[in-house]
Structure formats: structure tokens, C-alpha cells
């Protein structure tokens, strides 16, 4: 028994260190269809063990990230072999251009709903958000697990593909909406893209198009300078993160 008492603090220390060295993202598909998540590490952040995989309806997969990591997570939809006959893997929305299920360093082609993370790993704060700046292709939320009441959930509960304005809508082969573009992607003008003469918070203001996204999803980024109501923080190392595609509103 004396030996057991001496080992217990060491065991607890090792468990604590293990948890401090990584943050777990649990990706869950609550959609009625298969989603192919994509994961991209930012420049200077190490790649994760996987950069893309399939999630059938109801499935979840946990992915560990280093305690100090920055990157994004998104969902690809309507994926399969290229109908052109090349055999390359491709997705109708959120495609990362790799030609395979693993994205391998490729990012999401807009329009795509993005979950963005900057993990501090040094006792500061994690920053996270759900962004519709590049448009939307499916509902998604980020829910911190642990960390206390200060770690708020964020995201978009609404499927915007149906109510999307006609000049932003991306339609599938049957004419139904499969994604909703941003005004920047649709029109490419500085006032919508927040560049050129509109490259500051003072000059780039919300538009009728960004307000459509904001009204539907108040906690998500609707345009580039929508920081005040769209960026969330959690004390570094205190929480893991649940990322849910097509979240059930009761959650």
C-alpha cells in the first residue's frame, strides 16, 4: 500500500501532462447524409494525424491536436469519384483539391462553413469561431467540453442553402441549393471583400448580404470585421472541443 501511495501522485502528474500536451477535437455528424470533414493546419502549426475522412450519419471521430495549434475544420458534402472519369475523389462543396479523401494540406474551396481555432498552449486563451465569411455549405457548431461557463458555444444552427439569396445560391443538378456563396465570392468587389479602399473596419461595413448570414446565425462571422460578436475564448488547456455538423437545436 505504501508503494501505491508513492506512485499515485506520479501517475496523476503523467495524466495531467498528457492532457496538457494535446487538445481533442471530436467531430460528430448529425446530418442525414455522409459528411467528409477536412482539417487544415495553419502555417507554422504541425499537421494533424488525419486531414480528411468520411463520417456517416451519427458517427463521431476524435482527433488530437498539439496544445499550441492553429487551423480550421470544415465539412465536405456530395463527395465521390469524379464523374468525368478521372477517378479522383472530389466534393461538390468544400472540396480541398487533393483528389483524395485526405486533404493533405489543401484548404476548403468556398463556399464552406469553417470552424477556426487558435490554441495557445502556454496558459493563455484558446480562440475559436465559426465563420460564414467564405459562405456556407452546412450548419455547424463548436461546443467546448469543460473549461467552465466562460467557454461559450458558437456556430450556425440554420441550413442556409434553401433561404440563400438567389444571386448567392449554388444549386445542385436537381436545382436544389447545396451551398450559399458570400457576396465577396459572388461579386468580387472591394466593398464586399473588405480590401483595397475598404480594407479597414471603418470602411468595410456590414452589407445586406452579410446581414442575411448574421440574422440567421448571430454568433457566427458574417463578414471579415465581424469580430465583436463572433470570436470566443476559453482558457488554454481546460477544454476539448466538440464540432457538430447539422447540430440538433435541442443541443
How far is the C-alpha of 172 from the C-alpha of 160, rounded, in Å? Answer: 14
pLDDT tens digit sequence for 210-237: 999 999 999 999 999 999 999 999 998 8
> To the nearest 5 percent, what fractions of the chain are helix, strand and coil?
15, 35, 50
- Report whether 182 contacts 133 (CB < 8 A): yes
Q: At 4, is the pLDDT very low, low, confident or very high (cuts 50, 70, 90)?
A: very low
pTM of the model: 0.89
CATH, domain 24-159+219-245, list 3.40.50.2000, 1.10.760.10, 2.60.110.10, 3.40.190.10: 2.60.110.10
CB atoms within 10 A of CB 58: 10
Give the model's pLDDT for residue 122: 80
User: What tens digit of pLDDT does each residue of 151-205 get?
Assistant: 999 999 999 999 999 999 999 989 899 999 999 999 999 999 999 999 999 999 9
DSSP state of 198: G
Neighbours of 28 (CB within 10 A): 22
- In the chain, domain spans: 24-159+219-245
Strand-pair category, 239-245 with 22-29: parallel
Phi, psi (rounded to 5 degrees) for 184: -65, -45
pLDDT tens, 11-48? 333 334 344 578 999 999 999 999 999 999 999 999 99
Q: Tell me how far CA of residue 3 lies from CA of 14, 17, 33, in angstroms.
A: 17, 22, 53
Amino acid at each position: 500500500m505504501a508503494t501505491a501511495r508513492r506512485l499515485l501522485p506520479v501517475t496523476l502528474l503523467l495524466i495531467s501532462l498528457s492532457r496538457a500536451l494535446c487538445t481533442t477535437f471530436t467531430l460528430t455528424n448529425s446530418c442525414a447524409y455522409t459528411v467528409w470533414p477536412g482539417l487544415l493546419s495553419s502555417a507554422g502549426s504541425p499537421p494533424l494525424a488525419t486531414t480528411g475522412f468520411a463520417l456517416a450519419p451519427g458517427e463521431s471521430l476524435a482527433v488530437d491536436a498539439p496544445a499550441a495549434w492553429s487551423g480550421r475544420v470544415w465539412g465536405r458534402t456530395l463527395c465521390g469519384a469524379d464523374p468525368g472519369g478521372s477517378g479522383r475523389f472530389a466534393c461538390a462543396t468544400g472540396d480541398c483539391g487533393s483528389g483524395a479523401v485526405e486533404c493533405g494540406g489543401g484548404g476548403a474551396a468556398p463556399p464552406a462553413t469553417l470552424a477556426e481555432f487558435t490554441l495557445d498552449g502556454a496558459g493563455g486563451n484558446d480562440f475559436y469561431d465559426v465563420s460564414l465569411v467564405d459562405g456556407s455549405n452546412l450548419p455547424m457548431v463548436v461546443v467546448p467540453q469543460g473549461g467552465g461557463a466562460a467557454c461559450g458555444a458558437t456556430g450556425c444552427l440554420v441550413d442556409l442553402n434553401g433561404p440563400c439569396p438567389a444571386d448567392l445560391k449554388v444549386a445542385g443538378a436537381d436545382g436544389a441549393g447545396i451551398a450559399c456563396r458570400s457576396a465577396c465570392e459572388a461579386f468580387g468587389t472591394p466593398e464586399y471583400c473588405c480590401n483595397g479602399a475598404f480594407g479597414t473596419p471603418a470602411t468595410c461595413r456590414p452589407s445586406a448580404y452579410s446581414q442575411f448570414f448574421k440574422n440567421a446565425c448571430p454568433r457566427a462571422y458574417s463578414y471579415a470585421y465581424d469580430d465583436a460578436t463572433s470570436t470566443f475564448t476559453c482558457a488554454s488547456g481546460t477544454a476539448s472541443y466538440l464540432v457538430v455538423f447539422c447540430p440538433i437545436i435541442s443541443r
